[in-house]
Structure formats: structure tokens, C-alpha cells
Amino acid sequence: MTDLSYVSGPSTKPLLGQTIGAAFDAACAAHPGQMALISRHQKVRWTYAEMKDRVDALAAGLLALGLEPGDRIGIWAPNCAEWALTQFATAKAGLILVNINPAYRLSEAEYALNKVGCKALVTAVAHKTSEYLHMLRELAPELNDARPGDLRAARLPALRLVITLGDQDHAGCLALHQACDAGTPADQERLAEISANLQFDDPINIQFTSGTTGFPKGATLSHHNILNNGYFVGEAIGLAPGERLCIPVPLYHCFGMVMGNLGCVTHGATMVYPSEGFDPLAVLEAVEAEACQALYGVPTMFIAMLGHERFSHFDLSTLRTGIMAGSPCPIEVMKQVIDKMHMPEVTIAYGMTETSPVSFQSAADDSLEHRVSTVGRVQPHLEVKIVDEAGRIVPRGAAGELCTRGYSVMIGYWDDPERTAEALDAAGWMHTGDLATLDADGYGNIVGRIKDMVIRGGENVYPREIEEFLYRHPAVQDVQVIGIPDVKYGEELCAWIVLRTGETLTPEAVREFCQGQIAHYKIPRHIRFVDGFPTTVTGKVQKFAMREAMIAELGLVLEKTA
């Protein structure tokens, strides 16, 4: 044991040296009659054999419609069976799946589609207050008169093909079932040839992660990155063939599509989707009805389930394990999850999109204290070091920036070499921007954030992106956005705004300006109009002073962490 803050994850199990398509086919061959996917809100129940037929049909159809390996295809939809179909079909065809956050609005969707040059988009028509197809027509009115597959839109120049979910026909679009029917035997042969020639280091997925300098960055991930992370996360919870994993976390995020979907496929387990978006009652119903052994969620999800008025009516005794991640877990919540939800082996995980995502995870047999006061130990085949500002490894127990190296580290940010170089150093270390410590036994603890990030209900929000958007308002001269403590979401957003001379504005008007343009969770809850910001003598804004002022003004009490 060293006294320096460096650890590597030993393992008797080798890395998977295959593509996602090969792993999916292997699971289908090994467990053809086993349930692969249950989407309760859609009444979908597919065995691995049935899912393979659908995946292959869609993959061949996408090739028939003119997509080529390496092309980017977006998916903009809530949790549904078609999401998983698209995930595995694109992987088999060598297409790069681009996850579009279902909460995105006009400006965000436009940026994401154009940044990576999406040639195709699979989209839901609508979900809750999100009118996806309406927004798309607003961005690309040319869609109304376009021949399906031949869109030519001024604001979305790369986009050619729009595929909609559901059976209804929409002008300029193809329905997903039409895409599945488009493939011929020749396309199936071509699919087999393409799949056989794919390499596991090929890029296969782009996920957008907000940046401190304004616009989201497209973290580009390979088969090797995410397939192995899903596998080893599943290993950590002891997921077994035939077991059922309830996945209420969003599929557009690594938590859902990697830790959930790929974790299941690499273990011959069943993916269970309780609803399109998180609904505590739907989760409780799914766990009981489908006899799930594992459950994923962020702490706020578990709190909502435990606090539901009908919680005691459900038999959750089939549960044994799962993962709580996304933000720190209060010790009382962990105790209740273990006792009342029958999850003695629940684990904590930590990571980031750029590392596929998990780099630390607690073990099923770790003590309660370790599961609430740390993020566990380093995952197999990964390295972690904690460094000071000069890049030197600090002693155990000292705080510094957490850096990760290994199979899970992204290829880079799509078409952004400058920001890739800022995050990935010459030795292959991913600089997370998180302040962390390592104890004598190798347990990690996240003690702060170097990057100016807010975690609201498990969603990573970077203030700079919101500031950049609010700067567009003609009455706004300057703006600073911070995170302040919140009982329900962990943190909530607060904007301090300096108005231009002679201008007036109300908090309601600011929120209305944001509505429909940025995701709902990025709209500041607290808005204050000020004459200026607290600064250092060199003019640097002191966000901590703003935060302290808001805590005092709102009478907030900070909970001590375990």
C-alpha cells in the first residue's frame, strides 16, 4: 500500500474485447427465450430472440435508407422500447448514436444536431409538455414539403431523415415501423458484413455534457468504453442471467443506456422500463409486478418512492440490490432503502459521462458508513490519482483533483480538439474537475467541485451555459448563476442579474424568456436583480459570497454530510 493517492482496479475478469453488436448477438444466442425487455407503459414484452429480430430489421432498414457507418443519428425521446431498439441497431450498423436530452428545447436541440452533423433523427412526436415534432418543424419548416429522407433545411443543413415513433404518418417523416420494413435481404447481408468489420475502438455514441464555457460538449464514446463499463457495473451488483433490473433513470444518460441496458445485455438480464419519465408509483408497481431484483435511481427518486402515500401497499421483497448515483445520498435515505425497500446490497456509484460513466463504486458488502460517506473504490481495470494544482499526486487523505485513466476514458469531445486537450492530458488522464480524497483503504470521497457545476436532482447543470443564454435578453447587462441548497433537489439554481440602464424586468419575465428555449431544470428558480456582484480585488466574481448571501436571505440550513 502506498501513501500516495493513486489506485488501480485489479480484476480476475478480463475486459470484453468485442463490439456492442457482437455482445448483443451473443446474449441473444445464449438466452433466446429469456425476457430481454419489458416496457410496461407500452405493454411491450420481448424475449432476446424477438428483440434480435427487431434490432436486425431496424439496422438493415437504416442502411437501406442511405445511412453509412460513421454517420450520426440522433435520438430525441423519453424512455421507451424503441430507444433500446435504436441503441442496438445503430451499434450493429456502425452508426454513431447521438443522445438528445428529452428536456431540450429549440436552441439546445439545434445546437446539438448541428454540432455533430446528425444525418438522421429518431424522435418522439411529443412527451408531456415537449412537442418534439412541432419544435423540429419550427427549426426546419422545410420538413412540411420534403420527401422523407431528403430533407434540405437551412438551419439543420446535415439532417436528411426524420423517423418518428408511433404509427401515425407525419409530413416529411418516416414512421419507425416503415424504417424497420425498408431493409431487403441484400441490406441484411450488408449489415452482417459491416458488423463483422467493426472494431471495438470505433466511436459509437455521443453524449452531450454541459460546459463551463457555455455550450455543451459532445463526449464521444466507443464500443469498448461503454460495453465494458456496463459489464463491470453489472458485476459489482452481482447481476445474474434471468434477473430483472428496473430502469426508471433516463436512457439518454449513461445511467440508463450504459449501466442499465448494457449492464443487462452483458449479463443476460431483463431491462424493465416502468414509464416514459420518472413516476414513483409506476416504479413501485413495476418492481412488484415484474419481481425485480435490482433498481436504479438518483437519491431524489428513492426519496419520492419512500414518501409515496401508497408505498406500504407494495411488496418489494424481490429486490436485493441496485445503484444510487447522481448526487450524495443522505444516510437516513440509505437506511430506509436497505430496510424498507429490501435492498441490503444497494451500491453507490460515481463517475462522469466522459468516463462511460462509472469509475468508483461501492461493493454490495461494504459497510453502511462506507456506502454513504464515500463513493466506494476504483472500478476494475481503471486507474485513479488525486493531484494538486501542479499535477503532482497528493498524499492519502489530502484533497486534489480526481483524474481517471483506462478503458473507460472517452475518445474526446466531438470536433473540439481544444476542449479535449483541456480535459485529456498527454498521458491519457481524464481531468474530472472534481475535488476528491482517497483514504488508506482506497475509498474515494468527493469533497467539492473545481468546475462550476450544480447538481439539481441528479442533473448536471453548468451555470455558464445558462448565463450565456440569459445574456441574449436585451435588458440583461450582466448575469451570474449559482447553485444554492434545496431540500427536494439537493441544489437549485439562482440567477443574479444586472439590468441595462433604464431597463426593467421581473422574475416571471425572465422565466418566460427561458420557457421553451432551455430545459426546464435549467430555468433559475430564484432570481434577484442587483447593482453588481461581490468580487475580489482583481475583479473575479466571488460566487461563494453570492451563495452565502442567498442562504442567509432564504434562511436555509445546510445539512451536515455523513
What confidence tens digit (pLDDT) does each residue in 117-159 have? 999 999 999 998 899 999 999 999 999 999 999 999 999 999 9
Chain segment 188-241, per-residue pLDDT in tens: 999 999 999 999 999 999 999 864 445 889 999 999 999 999 999 999 999 999
Residue 501 banded pLDDT, cuts 50, 70, 90? confident
DSSP per position, 385-435: EEE-TTSPBPBTT--EEEEEEETTS-SEETT-HHHHHHHB-TTS-EEEEEE
Q: Give the model's pLDDT for residue 552.
A: 94
CA–CA gap between residue 195 and residue 59 (Å, rounded) = 10
Give pLDDT tens digits for 288-297.
Answer: 999 999 999 9
The CATH architecture assigned to 43-199 reads 3-Layer(aba) Sandwich (3.40)
Q: What is the pTM of this model?
A: 0.85
Average pLDDT over residues 456-468: 82
pLDDT of residue 216: 87
Which range among 61-65, 73-77, 489-493 shows the weakest confidence by mean pLDDT? 489-493
Task: List residues bridging with 219 in a β-sheet.
Answer: 207, 413
Predicted local distance difference test score (pLDDT) of residue 368 = 87
- Percentage of the chain beyond pLDDT 70 is 96
Helices 81-93, 20-30: axis angle to 10 degrees equals 120
Q: List, for residues 336-352, the tens digit of each pLDDT value.
A: 999 999 999 999 999 99
Which CATH number, 3.40.50.12780, 3.40.640.10, 3.30.40.10, 3.30.450.20, labels domain 6-14+223-449? Answer: 3.40.50.12780
Higher-confidence residue of 21 and 128: namely 21
Q: How confident is the model at residue 440 (pLDDT cuts 50, 70, 90)?
A: very high
Q: Where, residue-wise, is CATH 3.40.50.980 in the chain?
A: 43-199
Predicted local distance difference test score (pLDDT) of residue 540:
59
pLDDT at 562: 31
pLDDT, mean of residues 400-429: 97
Q: Where in the chain is the domain with CATH 3.30.300.30?
A: 455-554
Written as nine digits, the cell of 370 is 462506507
Asked if the model's pLDDT at residue 272 lies above 50, the reply is yes
User: Of 326, 330, 276, which Cα lies nearest the Cα of 303?
Assistant: 330
75/91 Cα distance (integer angstroms): 13
Q: What is the model's pLDDT at position 10?
A: 93
How confident is the model over 519-555, as pLDDT tens digits? 999 999 999 999 988 875 445 578 888 999 999 999 9
Q: What is the mean pLDDT of the chain?
A: 93
pLDDT of residue 538: 45
* 455-554 CATH fold: GMP Synthetase; Chain A, domain 3 (3.30.300)
Q: Is residue 216 reached through a cis peptide bond, with omega within 30 degrees of 0 on the bond before it?
A: no
pLDDT level of residue 319 (50, 70, 90 thresholds): very high
Mean predicted confidence (pLDDT) in 499-526 = 95
Query: What's the one-letter identity of residue 12?
Result: T
Q: For residues 155 and 138, give the distance between their C-alpha atoms in angstroms, rounded to a whole number.
A: 10
Percent of the chain with pLDDT over 90: 81
Task: Specify the pLDDT at position 211.
Answer: 47
Question: Alpha-carbon distance 218 to 180, whole Å?
Answer: 28
pLDDT at 326: 78
